[in-house]
Amino acid sequence: MFDVDHTITRHSTGRRLVQFGVRHGLFSLGDVISLPYHYLRYRAGTIDIGRALQAVMRLRGRSQAELEEIALACFKKRVLGDLFEEARTRINSHIDAGDTVAIASSSIGLIVRPLARALAIEHVIVTELEFERGVATGRLANEPCYGDEKRDRVIQLAGRLGILVSDLTFYSDSHLDLPLLQAAGTAIAVNPDRRLRREAVQKGWDIVQFR
């Protein structure tokens, strides 16, 4: 199980999508300007999800096909070059070993799914936009996928696949993923933030640096 931002990719996939979406009229310049503020609060664990997701309302009325096309173009032009080669190697090693490989990310499914396809990863747990009759409603289809929500959804997926949580290996960079890191049989801290590094040292978790 892999987190995405700063674990598989160097930069935030959500930030890449917002920046790319400005030229297509999906988001405003104000949305781009506010990104550092929301990012810092997210990393500190004090994010106001309601305020951070106001940009999602701007997608209301856009067709799912259009948004998927723009997200795919963003992936090819911006996100693909952000991949850590070490992450790609780890993922391929797990696949070659016959392991079930999955992604669990707080980012939006529109931008994560092209990444998963490129890495031959079948299972994806993400924050989803809501669509009705193929049109975005401006709302989320589920709870934002981080913290306890991410842990619970991963446990549910493991149950459906007949996998014990004790057999799960989870890679993440963020202390916000501590609920899942603590539940997994094996926790690996990738380019960890300060709080996660401290926790990893105390618990004897592996710490790796992807560059």
pLDDT at 208: 98
- Give the model's confidence band at 15: pLDDT under 50 very low, under 70 low, under 90 confident, else very high: confident
Beta bridge partners of 124: 103
CA dist 105 and 126 (Å) reads 5
Q: Can you name the CATH fold of 13-208? A: Rossmann fold (3.40.50)
Instruction: Indicate if the pLDDT at residue 195 is higher than 70.
Output: yes
Q: What is the mean pLDDT of the chain?
A: 89
* Residue ranges of domains in the chain: 13-208
Q: Which residues of 155-169 are buried (b: 16+ CB within 10 A; e: fewer)?
A: bebbeeeebeeeebb
CA angle 76, 79, 82 (to 5 degrees): 125
pLDDT at 22: 85
- Give the model's confidence band at 14: pLDDT under 50 very low, under 70 low, under 90 confident, else very high: confident
- Give the model's confidence band at 37: pLDDT under 50 very low, under 70 low, under 90 confident, else very high: very low
Q: Are strands 186-190 and 169-172 parallel, antiparallel or unpaired?
A: parallel
